[in-house]
Structure 1
Amino acid sequence: MAQSDAPKPVYVRVFEYPNGYVGNFHRHRLAQLVYSVRGIASVISDGKELVVSPFQAVAIPAWSLHRVSATGNALLHGVFIDPHVYPAAIGELSQVTITPLLHELIKEAGKHYYDYDNDSIIHHMLNLVVELVDKEETTQPVQALPIIKNSRIRRAIKKCEFQNLSSNEISKHAAYSNRQFSRLFKQETGMTFRQWRAIYLVQHGMRHLGKGMSVTEAAEKLGFCSSSAFITVFKRHVGFTPALMKLAIKY
């Protein structure tokens, strides 16, 4: 995605992907901010998966193995940052809140790629982008979904993923006692099955909304008893309602 020799210390490259695009795992020496201007972006890195909306981006440290995929007719902007020039930028995997100012700066810089002079307005805009990304109030802890490696648990969840089953019921499908299942699940993910499942459903909900589903359709698809139940869980985990996210997504 980025060249081994960066053409500029910081630049924005635009990627347009069809619905269902899944990239290859790769790494590079540049830190990267993945921002979805249109559609929904998904990033897998460090054994975790993050799904982000047009209000957020994922910050990926240099040399981190990662894969980017997309839902909807996605338009992604990748901000590539040379860590030798900006050593304080993107030291760990994190989510970044995209403010209106940051949105406009990234979009404008994306029109120029690395075709700009070092004393130009674009150069100063990109320096401001790096500064804003590095601010504490912009960067948030990752609310990522740990990827399950235990094949029995993974198959059981896949088989019953939207049936609103308890950990006790899932453990039976995985051929574990409930106590074994809870212990193994916590060891592998660092969270309870209930906590993990809530993030799992929210991420799938974001993808469904990114494909153009209504809030009601997404709630029904995910097995929620009502749209209001889906809205409550969604807002608790991402900070805004599904309806607001749909307004921000451009199909």
Structure 2
Amino acid sequence: MPNIRHTPVAPTRAQQMAPGDTIDAHRHDDHQIVYAGRGVLAVTTGAGTWVAPATRAIWVPAGTVHAHRAHGSLELHLMGIAADENPLGLDAPTVLMVGPLLRELFLAHTRAPDDDTPEGARLRAVLLDQLRVSPQRPVTLPAPSDPRLVAVCALLEADPADRRGLAELGLLVGASERTLTRLFRADLGMTFPQWRTQLRLYRALQLLAEDTPVTAVAHRCGWSSTSAFIDVFRRAFGHTPGAHGRLR
């Protein structure tokens, strides 16, 4: 990523971002947790893109070059954690579940980041305790490196509803179905159907953040029916697409 800013201290704060707003590529000497209290947040690194609605937060390890993008009107909450304090023991970007209690702790802590009272210290300690037991639920879109895979992924990113299989896509990029199947596992760590589902969920979150009707989201993201989309979405996020807006 060009023009990488180095901000040694990862800030703890809350801020508003308009739809489509970005924070350019940068890195911190601290760890950082990024949470969208409203809207959908995408965090992109050299390894791929992590997506977080209001039921998820993203752990960004110290030194990781990352950029942010807002989908929908975004209420961004940032929490910096010293590099020698790693309550999760994680060394790679990770998506974490955020339940009602953890959500309120994030909101309270980031809206009053300079609270150095005993009450503020206890709030932060409880927040870290909750993080330690937060399950990891990835909504990750890994970035390909092989040129043939880059070409295939670009076709699907341009149209997530594209129903062509690897055999048909392979004809366009000069690779066999068998080769592409192997590349998806080796380069991206998942199968082609798994990656395409993640892409469709990623795009669905963007569209829902823009208040697109659920039926239209299902169609534009390539699900065979609205009910099929609702089922996959519920299994991924723990709630239906229709309830998604009420969680923001």
Common topology (TM > 0.5): yes
CA pair 157-173 structure 1, distance change in 2 beyond 3 A: farther
Which residue pairs with 2:128 in the alignment? 130
Query: Could you tell me how far apart the structure 2 residues matched to 1:67 and 1:242 are?
Result: 26
Which residue pairs with 1:196 in the alignment? 195
Shift of 1:46: 5.4
Q: Give 1:97-246 correspondences, 5 Å limit.
A: 97-114=97-114, 116-117=115-116, 119-135=117-133, 138-140=134-136, 142-160=138-156, 161=159, 162-246=161-245
Query: Could you tell me how far apart the structure 2 residues matched to 1:47 and 1:215 are?
Result: 30
- Superposed CA offset, 1:5-56 (max 9, x none): 57xxxx7311211111232221111111111001000112350211111011
CA pair 23-149 structure 1, distance change in 2 beyond 3 A: farther
Which of 1, 4, 8 aligns to 1:4? It is: 8
Which one-letter code corresponds to 2:45 in the other structure?
A: S
Which residue pairs with 1:21 in the alignment? 21
TM-score norm. by structure 1 comes to 0.87
SS at match of 1:50: strand
User: Which range moved further: 236-245 or 149-158?
Assistant: 149-158
Shift of 1:240: 2.5
Which residue pairs with 1:44 in the alignment? 44
C-alpha contact 1:20 1:71 (8 A) present in aligned 2: yes
Shift of 1:195: 1.0
Query: Could you tell me how far apart the structure 2 residues matched to 1:170 and 1:194 are?
Result: 13
Q: Using CA pairs below 8 Å that are at least 6 residues apart, which structure has the higher relative contact order?
A: 1
C-alpha contact 1:28 1:64 (8 A) present in aligned 2: yes
Shift of 1:88: 3.3
- Superposed CA offset, 1:115-141 (max 9, x none): x22x43122111211121122xx1315
User: Which range moved further: 27-36 or 172-181?
Assistant: 172-181
Which one-letter code corresponds to 1:239 in the other structure?
A: G
Query: Could you tell me how far apart the structure 2 residues matched to 1:225 and 1:41 are?
Result: 26
C-alpha contact 1:94 1:139 (8 A) present in aligned 2: no
Query: Could you tell me how far apart the structure 1 residues matched to 2:122 and 2:207 are?
Result: 38
C-alpha contact 1:83 1:89 (8 A) present in aligned 2: no
Shift of 1:104: 1.3
C-alpha contact 1:164 1:224 (8 A) present in aligned 2: no
- The root-mean-square deviation of aligned C-alpha atoms, in Å, is 2.2
CA pair 230-126 structure 1, distance change in 2 beyond 3 A: same
Structure 2 residue 45 is matched with structure 1 residue 55? no
List alignment gaps of at least 5 residues for structure 2: none
List alignment gaps of at least 5 residues for structure 1: none
TM-score norm. by structure 2 comes to 0.88
C-alpha contact 1:59 1:90 (8 A) present in aligned 2: no
Query: Could you tell me how far apart the structure 2 residues matched to 1:213 and 1:5 are?
Result: 37
Query: Could you tell me how far apart the structure 1 residues matched to 2:28 and 2:111 are?
Result: 23
